[in-house]
Structure 1
Amino acid sequence: MSGSLIYLMGPSGSGKDSLLDAAREPLAARGCRIARRVITRSAEAVGEDALALSPAQFEAEERAGAFAMSWRANGLAYGIPGQIDAWLAAGEHVLVNGSRGYLAQARQRYPTLLPVLLTVELAVLRQRLLARGRETLAEVEARLARNAQFAGGAAVQDERLHLLDNSGELQRTVDNLLGLIGGHDPCA
Protein backbone atom coordinates (compact mmCIF):
# COMPACT_ATOMS: atom_id res chain seq x y z
CA MET A 1 0.00 0.00 0.00
CA SER A 2 1.33 3.45 -0.80
CA GLY A 3 0.54 6.72 0.87
CA SER A 4 -0.95 9.84 -0.66
CA LEU A 5 0.79 13.11 -1.38
CA ILE A 6 -1.05 16.33 -0.47
CA TYR A 7 0.45 19.20 -2.48
CA LEU A 8 -0.30 22.53 -0.78
CA MET A 9 0.44 25.68 -2.73
CA GLY A 10 -0.49 29.34 -2.70
CA PRO A 11 0.96 32.79 -3.06
CA SER A 12 3.49 34.18 -0.61
CA GLY A 13 1.53 35.71 2.24
CA SER A 14 -1.45 33.39 1.84
CA GLY A 15 -0.69 31.82 5.22
CA LYS A 16 0.75 28.45 4.21
CA ASP A 17 3.26 28.45 7.06
CA SER A 18 0.63 29.43 9.63
CA LEU A 19 -1.71 26.77 8.29
CA LEU A 20 0.99 24.09 8.41
CA ASP A 21 1.89 25.02 11.98
CA ALA A 22 -1.75 24.99 13.10
CA ALA A 23 -2.55 21.73 11.30
CA ARG A 24 0.63 19.87 12.33
CA GLU A 25 -0.82 18.09 15.40
CA PRO A 26 -4.20 17.12 13.92
CA LEU A 27 -2.47 15.83 10.78
CA ALA A 28 0.05 13.84 12.83
CA ALA A 29 -2.84 12.33 14.79
CA ARG A 30 -4.20 11.11 11.45
CA GLY A 31 -0.86 9.64 10.43
CA CYS A 32 0.04 12.38 7.98
CA ARG A 33 3.56 13.84 7.86
CA ILE A 34 4.50 17.37 6.83
CA ALA A 35 7.73 17.40 4.83
CA ARG A 36 10.25 20.11 5.71
CA ARG A 37 11.36 22.07 2.64
CA VAL A 38 14.91 23.03 1.79
CA ILE A 39 15.33 26.66 0.67
CA THR A 40 18.22 28.87 -0.37
CA ARG A 41 17.19 31.49 2.18
CA SER A 42 19.17 32.52 5.23
CA ALA A 43 18.34 30.46 8.33
CA GLU A 44 17.78 33.76 10.16
CA ALA A 45 15.08 34.86 7.72
CA VAL A 46 11.57 35.02 9.09
CA GLY A 47 9.26 32.45 7.53
CA GLU A 48 8.61 28.77 7.42
CA ASP A 49 10.55 26.18 9.38
CA ALA A 50 12.73 25.13 6.45
CA LEU A 51 16.26 23.86 6.16
CA ALA A 52 18.39 26.70 4.77
CA LEU A 53 21.19 25.94 2.32
CA SER A 54 23.46 28.21 0.35
CA PRO A 55 22.87 28.19 -3.42
CA ALA A 56 26.07 26.14 -3.90
CA GLN A 57 25.01 23.58 -1.25
CA PHE A 58 21.55 23.35 -2.80
CA GLU A 59 23.01 22.75 -6.27
CA ALA A 60 25.26 20.00 -4.89
CA GLU A 61 22.34 18.31 -3.10
CA GLU A 62 20.21 18.58 -6.23
CA ARG A 63 22.93 17.03 -8.42
CA ALA A 64 23.30 14.21 -5.86
CA GLY A 65 19.58 13.38 -6.17
CA ALA A 66 18.68 14.43 -2.63
CA PHE A 67 15.34 15.94 -3.65
CA ALA A 68 12.12 14.26 -4.74
CA MET A 69 11.14 17.62 -6.26
CA SER A 70 12.95 20.91 -6.74
CA TRP A 71 12.22 24.22 -8.45
CA ARG A 72 13.14 27.89 -8.63
CA ALA A 73 10.82 30.79 -7.79
CA ASN A 74 11.14 34.36 -6.54
CA GLY A 75 14.94 34.26 -6.76
CA LEU A 76 15.21 31.21 -4.48
CA ALA A 77 15.65 27.46 -4.94
CA TYR A 78 13.26 25.07 -3.18
CA GLY A 79 13.51 21.32 -2.62
CA ILE A 80 11.40 18.57 -1.10
CA PRO A 81 13.65 15.89 0.46
CA GLY A 82 13.74 12.54 -1.29
CA GLN A 83 12.76 10.75 1.92
CA ILE A 84 9.11 11.48 1.10
CA ASP A 85 9.28 8.66 -1.46
CA ALA A 86 10.16 6.18 1.28
CA TRP A 87 7.35 7.52 3.48
CA LEU A 88 4.85 7.23 0.64
CA ALA A 89 6.07 3.72 -0.28
CA ALA A 90 5.62 2.70 3.38
CA GLY A 91 1.96 3.80 3.21
CA GLU A 92 2.42 7.08 5.04
CA HIS A 93 0.64 10.20 3.84
CA VAL A 94 2.70 13.33 3.26
CA LEU A 95 1.80 17.00 2.94
CA VAL A 96 4.31 19.20 1.10
CA ASN A 97 4.52 22.96 0.70
CA GLY A 98 4.72 23.05 -3.08
CA SER A 99 4.78 25.62 -5.86
CA ARG A 100 2.00 26.60 -8.22
CA GLY A 101 4.56 26.88 -11.01
CA TYR A 102 5.80 23.31 -10.42
CA LEU A 103 2.38 21.62 -10.20
CA ALA A 104 2.53 20.04 -13.67
CA GLN A 105 5.90 18.41 -12.93
CA ALA A 106 4.70 17.28 -9.50
CA ARG A 107 1.66 15.65 -11.11
CA GLN A 108 3.89 13.83 -13.58
CA ARG A 109 5.91 12.34 -10.74
CA TYR A 110 2.94 11.79 -8.36
CA PRO A 111 -0.16 11.34 -10.57
CA THR A 112 -2.54 10.75 -7.64
CA LEU A 113 -1.49 13.78 -5.58
CA LEU A 114 -4.17 15.94 -3.99
CA PRO A 115 -3.50 19.53 -5.16
CA VAL A 116 -4.71 22.17 -2.68
CA LEU A 117 -4.50 25.86 -3.59
CA LEU A 118 -4.61 28.21 -0.62
CA THR A 119 -6.31 31.42 -1.70
CA VAL A 120 -6.70 34.78 0.00
CA GLU A 121 -8.47 38.00 -0.89
CA LEU A 122 -6.16 40.49 -2.63
CA ALA A 123 -6.45 43.19 0.07
CA VAL A 124 -5.63 40.65 2.80
CA LEU A 125 -2.72 39.29 0.77
CA ARG A 126 -1.25 42.77 0.22
CA GLN A 127 -1.57 43.55 3.94
CA ARG A 128 0.15 40.29 4.94
CA LEU A 129 3.01 40.76 2.49
CA LEU A 130 3.64 44.31 3.65
CA ALA A 131 3.41 43.35 7.33
CA ARG A 132 6.01 40.61 7.15
CA GLY A 133 8.61 43.08 5.88
CA ARG A 134 10.59 40.56 3.81
CA GLU A 135 10.29 42.33 0.46
CA THR A 136 10.47 45.84 -0.92
CA LEU A 137 7.26 47.48 -2.10
CA ALA A 138 8.26 46.69 -5.70
CA GLU A 139 8.78 43.02 -4.79
CA VAL A 140 5.39 42.92 -3.04
CA GLU A 141 3.72 44.36 -6.12
CA ALA A 142 5.53 41.81 -8.32
CA ARG A 143 4.25 38.98 -6.10
CA LEU A 144 0.71 40.37 -6.28
CA ALA A 145 0.96 40.61 -10.08
CA ARG A 146 2.24 37.01 -10.28
CA ASN A 147 -0.65 35.88 -8.10
CA ALA A 148 -3.20 37.71 -10.28
CA GLN A 149 -1.67 36.12 -13.37
CA PHE A 150 -1.89 32.65 -11.84
CA ALA A 151 -5.42 33.19 -10.50
CA GLY A 152 -6.66 33.71 -14.04
CA GLY A 153 -4.70 30.78 -15.46
CA ALA A 154 -5.71 27.33 -16.57
CA ALA A 155 -4.55 25.66 -13.36
CA VAL A 156 -7.33 27.31 -11.37
CA GLN A 157 -9.87 26.05 -13.91
CA ASP A 158 -8.64 22.49 -13.38
CA GLU A 159 -11.40 20.45 -11.73
CA ARG A 160 -8.79 18.48 -9.78
CA LEU A 161 -7.49 21.61 -8.04
CA HIS A 162 -9.04 22.10 -4.60
CA LEU A 163 -9.37 25.72 -3.48
CA LEU A 164 -9.03 26.55 0.21
CA ASP A 165 -9.78 30.15 1.28
CA ASN A 166 -7.57 31.55 4.03
CA SER A 167 -8.86 35.11 4.13
CA GLY A 168 -10.56 34.67 7.50
CA GLU A 169 -9.99 32.78 10.73
CA LEU A 170 -7.09 30.32 10.66
CA GLN A 171 -8.96 27.63 12.60
CA ARG A 172 -11.67 27.61 9.94
CA THR A 173 -9.00 27.04 7.29
CA VAL A 174 -7.47 24.21 9.35
CA ASP A 175 -10.90 22.58 9.71
CA ASN A 176 -11.54 22.94 5.98
CA LEU A 177 -8.12 21.44 5.15
CA LEU A 178 -8.77 18.47 7.44
CA GLY A 179 -12.20 17.99 5.86
CA LEU A 180 -10.75 18.15 2.36
CA ILE A 181 -8.04 15.65 3.20
CA GLY A 182 -10.52 13.40 4.98
CA GLY A 183 -12.79 13.51 1.94
CA HIS A 184 -9.85 12.48 -0.23
CA ASP A 185 -9.14 9.74 2.35
CA PRO A 186 -5.35 9.85 2.48
CA CYS A 187 -5.17 10.78 6.16
CA ALA A 188 -8.58 9.77 7.47
Structure 2
Amino acid sequence: MAGRLIYLIGPSGSGKDSLLDAARPRLAERGCRIVRRVITRSAEAVGEAAQGVSAEQFVAMQAEGAFALSWQANGLSYGIPTDIDAWLAAGEDVLVNGSRAHLAQARERYPALLVVLLSVDQAALRQRLLARGRESVADIDARLARNARFTAQLLAGMGAGLLVLDNSGPLEHTVECLLRYLDPSAR
Protein backbone atom coordinates (compact mmCIF):
# COMPACT_ATOMS: atom_id res chain seq x y z
CA MET A 1 0.00 0.00 0.00
CA ALA A 2 1.39 3.38 -1.00
CA GLY A 3 1.85 6.10 1.56
CA ARG A 4 0.20 9.49 1.40
CA LEU A 5 1.95 12.66 0.30
CA ILE A 6 0.75 15.56 2.46
CA TYR A 7 1.47 18.91 0.80
CA LEU A 8 1.47 21.77 3.33
CA ILE A 9 1.08 25.23 1.84
CA GLY A 10 0.33 28.68 3.16
CA PRO A 11 1.49 32.26 2.99
CA SER A 12 4.78 33.39 4.42
CA GLY A 13 4.18 34.12 8.09
CA SER A 14 1.27 31.67 8.47
CA GLY A 15 3.33 29.47 10.80
CA LYS A 16 4.20 26.47 8.61
CA ASP A 17 7.60 25.97 10.24
CA SER A 18 6.12 26.39 13.74
CA LEU A 19 3.39 23.85 12.93
CA LEU A 20 5.91 21.34 11.57
CA ASP A 21 8.17 21.76 14.60
CA ALA A 22 5.28 21.36 17.03
CA ALA A 23 3.72 18.38 15.22
CA ARG A 24 6.99 16.57 14.38
CA PRO A 25 7.19 14.22 17.41
CA ARG A 26 3.54 13.18 17.20
CA LEU A 27 3.70 12.70 13.43
CA ALA A 28 6.84 10.58 13.85
CA GLU A 29 4.96 8.38 16.36
CA ARG A 30 2.42 7.76 13.61
CA GLY A 31 5.08 6.91 11.04
CA CYS A 32 4.81 10.15 9.10
CA ARG A 33 8.05 11.64 7.82
CA ILE A 34 8.54 15.40 7.56
CA VAL A 35 10.85 16.19 4.66
CA ARG A 36 13.83 18.49 5.06
CA ARG A 37 13.84 20.78 2.01
CA VAL A 38 16.93 21.87 0.12
CA ILE A 39 17.06 25.67 -0.23
CA THR A 40 19.54 28.04 -1.81
CA ARG A 41 20.26 30.00 1.33
CA SER A 42 22.72 29.85 4.13
CA ALA A 43 22.24 27.06 6.65
CA GLU A 44 22.52 29.77 9.32
CA ALA A 45 19.54 31.71 7.95
CA VAL A 46 16.62 32.11 10.32
CA GLY A 47 13.63 29.96 9.48
CA GLU A 48 13.04 26.29 8.85
CA ALA A 49 15.66 23.61 9.41
CA ALA A 50 16.49 23.12 5.74
CA GLN A 51 19.60 21.98 3.94
CA GLY A 52 21.22 25.19 2.71
CA VAL A 53 23.13 24.96 -0.56
CA SER A 54 24.60 27.43 -3.04
CA ALA A 55 22.81 28.18 -6.28
CA GLU A 56 25.50 26.21 -8.13
CA GLN A 57 25.08 23.19 -5.84
CA PHE A 58 21.33 23.32 -6.33
CA VAL A 59 21.64 23.35 -10.13
CA ALA A 60 24.07 20.40 -9.97
CA MET A 61 21.74 18.44 -7.67
CA GLN A 62 18.80 19.18 -9.96
CA ALA A 63 20.77 18.01 -13.01
CA GLU A 64 21.63 14.76 -11.16
CA GLY A 65 17.91 14.11 -10.52
CA ALA A 66 18.14 14.66 -6.76
CA PHE A 67 14.70 16.29 -6.50
CA ALA A 68 11.23 14.82 -6.79
CA LEU A 69 9.88 18.38 -6.83
CA SER A 70 11.65 21.71 -7.25
CA TRP A 71 10.68 25.33 -7.79
CA GLN A 72 11.84 28.92 -7.47
CA ALA A 73 10.19 31.52 -5.26
CA ASN A 74 11.24 34.84 -3.75
CA GLY A 75 14.69 34.65 -5.32
CA LEU A 76 15.44 31.20 -3.86
CA SER A 77 15.38 27.66 -5.23
CA TYR A 78 13.65 24.88 -3.31
CA GLY A 79 13.92 21.12 -3.73
CA ILE A 80 12.17 18.10 -2.23
CA PRO A 81 14.60 15.11 -2.29
CA THR A 82 13.69 12.01 -4.30
CA ASP A 83 13.83 10.00 -1.05
CA ILE A 84 10.11 10.70 -0.75
CA ASP A 85 9.35 8.31 -3.61
CA ALA A 86 10.90 5.35 -1.78
CA TRP A 87 9.16 6.30 1.48
CA LEU A 88 5.78 6.59 -0.27
CA ALA A 89 6.32 3.27 -2.08
CA ALA A 90 7.10 1.65 1.30
CA GLY A 91 3.72 2.82 2.61
CA GLU A 92 4.97 5.72 4.72
CA ASP A 93 3.14 9.02 4.91
CA VAL A 94 5.31 11.98 3.93
CA LEU A 95 4.66 15.63 4.75
CA VAL A 96 6.36 18.32 2.67
CA ASN A 97 6.43 22.07 3.09
CA GLY A 98 5.40 22.88 -0.46
CA SER A 99 4.75 25.90 -2.61
CA ARG A 100 1.32 27.27 -3.41
CA ALA A 101 2.55 28.38 -6.82
CA HIS A 102 3.93 24.88 -7.54
CA LEU A 103 0.77 23.03 -6.46
CA ALA A 104 -0.37 22.18 -10.01
CA GLN A 105 2.99 20.59 -10.84
CA ALA A 106 3.03 18.67 -7.54
CA ARG A 107 -0.49 17.39 -8.18
CA GLU A 108 0.52 16.34 -11.69
CA ARG A 109 3.36 14.20 -10.33
CA TYR A 110 1.42 13.00 -7.25
CA PRO A 111 -2.28 13.05 -8.20
CA ALA A 112 -3.45 11.67 -4.85
CA LEU A 113 -1.61 14.21 -2.69
CA LEU A 114 -3.44 15.69 0.27
CA VAL A 115 -3.34 19.48 0.30
CA VAL A 116 -3.28 21.28 3.65
CA LEU A 117 -3.61 25.05 3.45
CA LEU A 118 -2.45 26.83 6.60
CA SER A 119 -4.32 30.10 6.87
CA VAL A 120 -4.24 32.94 9.33
CA ASP A 121 -6.35 36.04 9.84
CA GLN A 122 -5.10 38.79 7.49
CA ALA A 123 -4.58 41.30 10.32
CA ALA A 124 -2.57 38.77 12.36
CA LEU A 125 -0.58 37.80 9.27
CA ARG A 126 0.24 41.44 8.58
CA GLN A 127 1.49 41.87 12.16
CA ARG A 128 3.65 38.73 11.90
CA LEU A 129 5.20 39.92 8.64
CA LEU A 130 5.85 43.39 10.05
CA ALA A 131 7.48 41.87 13.15
CA ARG A 132 9.90 39.86 11.00
CA GLY A 133 11.21 43.08 9.47
CA ARG A 134 12.22 41.47 6.17
CA GLU A 135 10.01 43.53 3.87
CA SER A 136 8.71 47.08 3.49
CA VAL A 137 5.10 47.89 4.39
CA ALA A 138 4.31 48.22 0.66
CA ASP A 139 5.82 44.78 -0.03
CA ILE A 140 3.82 43.27 2.84
CA ASP A 141 0.59 44.82 1.59
CA ALA A 142 1.29 43.49 -1.92
CA ARG A 143 2.03 40.05 -0.46
CA LEU A 144 -1.24 40.09 1.50
CA ALA A 145 -3.22 41.05 -1.62
CA ARG A 146 -1.59 38.20 -3.61
CA ASN A 147 -2.31 35.81 -0.76
CA ALA A 148 -6.00 36.76 -0.66
CA ARG A 149 -6.34 36.25 -4.44
CA PHE A 150 -4.51 32.92 -4.37
CA THR A 151 -6.53 31.59 -1.42
CA ALA A 152 -9.83 32.55 -3.07
CA GLN A 153 -8.79 30.80 -6.31
CA LEU A 154 -7.60 27.72 -4.43
CA LEU A 155 -10.77 27.42 -2.39
CA ALA A 156 -12.88 27.80 -5.54
CA GLY A 157 -10.93 25.13 -7.41
CA MET A 158 -10.17 22.48 -4.79
CA GLY A 159 -13.40 21.87 -2.92
CA ALA A 160 -13.28 18.70 -0.82
CA GLY A 161 -9.68 17.90 -1.78
CA LEU A 162 -8.35 20.59 0.52
CA LEU A 163 -8.03 20.94 4.28
CA VAL A 164 -7.88 24.52 5.51
CA LEU A 165 -6.28 24.89 8.94
CA ASP A 166 -6.70 28.25 10.67
CA ASN A 167 -3.52 29.08 12.57
CA SER A 168 -4.77 32.38 14.00
CA GLY A 169 -5.24 30.89 17.48
CA PRO A 170 -3.15 28.65 19.72
CA LEU A 171 -0.63 26.51 17.82
CA GLU A 172 -1.58 23.39 19.81
CA HIS A 173 -5.14 23.66 18.47
CA THR A 174 -3.78 23.74 14.90
CA VAL A 175 -1.58 20.70 15.65
CA GLU A 176 -4.60 18.77 16.99
CA CYS A 177 -6.65 19.63 13.89
CA LEU A 178 -3.82 18.48 11.61
CA LEU A 179 -3.41 15.20 13.50
CA ARG A 180 -7.16 14.50 13.37
CA TYR A 181 -7.22 15.14 9.63
CA LEU A 182 -4.25 12.86 8.98
CA ASP A 183 -5.58 10.03 11.17
CA PRO A 184 -6.41 7.22 8.72
CA SER A 185 -9.02 5.78 11.09
CA ALA A 186 -10.95 9.06 10.98
CA ARG A 187 -11.51 8.85 7.20
Q: Name the CA distance, whole Å, in 1 between partners of 2:134 and 2:58.
A: 21
Matches of residues 1-188 of structure 1 in structure 2 within 5 Å? 1-153=1-153, 155-157=154-156, 158-159=158-159, 160-182=161-183, 185=184
* C-alpha deviation, 1:72, in angstroms: 1.0
User: Aligned letter for 1:177?
Assistant: L
In structure 2, the gaps of 5 or more residues are none
Q: Name the CA distance, whole Å, in 2 between partners of 1:187 and 1:74.
A: 37
* C-alpha deviation, 1:162, in angstroms: 1.2
Residues 146 and 186 of structure 1: CA distance in aligned 2, closer, same or farther (over 3 Å): farther
TM (normalized to structure 1)? 0.93
* C-alpha deviation, 1:123, in angstroms: 0.7
What are the Cα deviations for residues 73-118 of structure 1, in whole angstroms up to 9, with x where unaligned? 1111111011011111111110000011111111111111110000
Residues 132 and 52 of structure 1: CA distance in aligned 2, closer, same or farther (over 3 Å): same
Q: Is the 8 A contact 1:93 1:187 kept in 2?
A: no
Bigger drift between 138-147 and 73-82 goes to 138-147
TM (normalized to structure 2)? 0.93
In structure 1, the gaps of 5 or more residues are none
Q: Name the CA distance, whole Å, in 1 between partners of 2:71 and 2:16.
A: 18
| Identity across matched positions, percent | 66
Q: Name the CA distance, whole Å, in 2 between partners of 1:132 and 1:52.
A: 20
Q: Name the CA distance, whole Å, in 2 between partners of 1:187 and 1:51.
A: 34
* C-alpha deviation, 1:136, in angstroms: 3.4
User: Aligned letter for 2:179?
Assistant: L
Residues 28 and 119 of structure 1: CA distance in aligned 2, closer, same or farther (over 3 Å): same
* C-alpha deviation, 1:126, in angstroms: 0.8
Q: Is the 8 A contact 1:32 1:187 kept in 2?
A: no
Q: Name the CA distance, whole Å, in 2 between partners of 1:62 and 1:123.
A: 38
User: Is the partner of 1:164 in helix, strand or coil?
Assistant: strand
